[in-house]
Structure 1
Amino acid sequence: MKAIAEQPPQVAQAIGIKLEDVKAANVRLQEIIVSGEHAAGVHIKHGEFSGDIEIRKIKVEANSEKK
């Protein structure tokens, strides 16, 4: 929360699923809905997967209107 508070409001990003430093056999993600100016449905960083990755039904509504 502190890191978010220190960022300017325009930098905030809505992320549906964020995985970091994950080691897994299989991953299944589905029905993810996220909206915002810099929205991202799925963010994976430093992932190691030995099996299948299934990502389905992602809905991202990136709203770029200034308020």
Structure 2
Amino acid sequence: MGLIESIRRWIDGDGADDPLTMADEQARPRRVWEEFLVKVAREVEAAMQREMFTPPGGITFIPRE
């Protein structure tokens, strides 16, 4: 399978051979504090994704706080 084919499958949602999914399944169980830090990081990323905006033809802005 070529690079274009793997990108097409990823876009279409066919994640059967997605390396990130396979690595996550094989990862050792996280400790409680690791889970907490991962949840915090995911929430920060989600907030940044929700609040960022790109004006037409401009750079992307992320509001402070």
Q: Which has the higher contact order (CA 8 A, sep 6+)?
A: 1
Larger strand percent: 1
**Under TM normalisation by the shorter chain, which class is it?**
under 0.3
Who wins on radius of gyration, i.e. which is larger? 2
Of Structure 1 and Structure 2, the greater helix share is in: 2
